[in-house]
Copies of this chain bind each other. A is one copy, B any other.
Amino acid sequence: MNQRIFSIGLALLLGAGYSLTAYSQAKPETLVKQRQSAMVLQGKYFGPMAGMAQGKVPFNATVIARNAVYLEALSHMAWDGFNPSTSGEKTRALPEIYSDAAKFKAAQDSFQANAAKLVAASKGGDEAAIKAAIGAIGKDCSSCHDNFRQK
């Protein structure tokens, strides 16, 4: 590989706020930006599915099958950004995220499991099952925001 490829990689690495010796120690503001990005994209792909489950948007099994796979991947991307080092950043994250870490982890696990169930349901083609799986994820969103996000 040539030096130019290495350079862009290095630029991205540094741009992402990672140190070179310990990539997991991103700056607090970088962690916040990354976890908020994951939330934005969860909204992008879950929003239309929630609308379909409610009958507000025409049901489209192809879109759901695609969005479900994306959402399942995204369901893993936010949580390592909730590091105590970010407590001083201006966000809506509540301190319960760190003081009740087990409950926060259980909320993540539930969302991830339900996202995987939606992927499976979306392959089955049963509209009622798909809508129920979407509803379960909506409940996860609601519950986690109620418990861990400032009103």
Contact = CB atoms under 8 A, between A and B. Distances in A.
A113 interface: no
Contacts of A106: none
A16 B33 contact: no
Protomer copies: 2
Interface string A114-141: 0000000000000000011011001101
A13 B131 contact: no
Given A40-B33, A69-B73, A51 B13 contact: yes
Interface string A76-94: 1100000000000000000
A9 interface: yes
Interface of A: 1, 4-10, 12-13, 15-16, 18, 20-21, 23, 33-34, 36-38, 40-41, 43-44, 46-48, 50-51, 53-54, 56-57, 69-70, 73-74, 76-77, 131-132, 134-135, 138-139, 141-142, 145
Contacts of A4: 139, 142
Contacts of A41: 34, 37-38, 41, 77
A104 B5 CA distance: 19
A87 to B, nearest CB: 20
